[in-house]
A and B are shown apart, each in its own frame.
Chain A
Amino acid sequence: ETGVTQTPRHLVMGMTNKKSLKCEQHLGHNAMYWYKQSAKKPLELMFVYNFKEQTENNSVPSRFSPECPNSSHLFLHLHTLQPEDSALYLCASSPATSVSYNEQFFGPGTRLTVL
């Protein structure tokens, strides 16, 4: 595997389900990111992890719970979601963030549909 991989690629869940999205990067990076991409809206940065520590949470509802066990893996745990949470969820990685973000490498995304 190379680059940034995400599983599953597609997910359909009910509002009462609990599911998790997985992201893995094979680039030796130390920063990882979760983004939400909705139709006709700008990409929204949700969470940032730097050396496994969460450094940003951009007012994301608690029904989204991130986990970063090591610098190569990132999870997004989902529970009691709403239909408006349906979107493409993108993971990205980069060399560790410092003064400014640098080049980010994105995965292909998980297309989430909440019924």
Chain B
Amino acid sequence: EDQVTQSPEALRLQEGESSSLNCSYTVSGLRGLFWYRQDPGKGPEFLFTLYSAGEEKEKERLKATLTKKESFLHITAPKPEDSATYLCAVQGWGKLQFGAGTQVVVTP
């Protein structure tokens, strides 16, 4: 059965303190791995799609990478506005599966 595990569950960072979030997955035939950001009281907001191992994508302070077993979301020199829950989702040949998310808090 397809599985998605995100770690850590929560992450507290000082402004400017870079870190990485992990999304480990087990899937039969990866068709896409997605990163979303969700602010309290709002729906998720799309960030990236990755399709194959070795692929990387960047957007402002965020960079997503993909291997055959996991994806990382690197946050470089975060700012308080980067505080949110980051969700990873994986699609194999079964249904789309989301991880439980990593809640990131960036303090000034």
A interface vs B, CB < 8 Å? 4, 40-45, 56, 58, 90, 92, 99-109
Contact = CB atoms under 8 A, between A and B. Distances in A.
B31 A100 contact: yes
Given A42-B97, A100-B32, A107-B43, 10 more contacts: A43-B89, A45-B98, A100-B31, A101-B31, A103-B46, A103-B49, A106-B42, A106-B43, A106-B44, A108-B42
B4 A42 contact: yes
A43 B89 CA distance: 9
Interface residues of B, number: 22
B43 A101 contact: no
* A-B complex: 4 closest residue pairs judged by Cβ atoms: A106-B43, A100-B31, A43-B98, A100-B32
Interface of B: 4, 31-32, 34, 41-46, 49, 51, 87, 89, 91, 95-101
Contacts, number: 50
Given A42-B100, A106-B43, A109-B43, A101 B91 contact: yes
Q: Is the interface of A mostly helix, strand, loop or mixed?
A: loop
A53 B100 CA distance: 29
Contacts of B98: 42-45
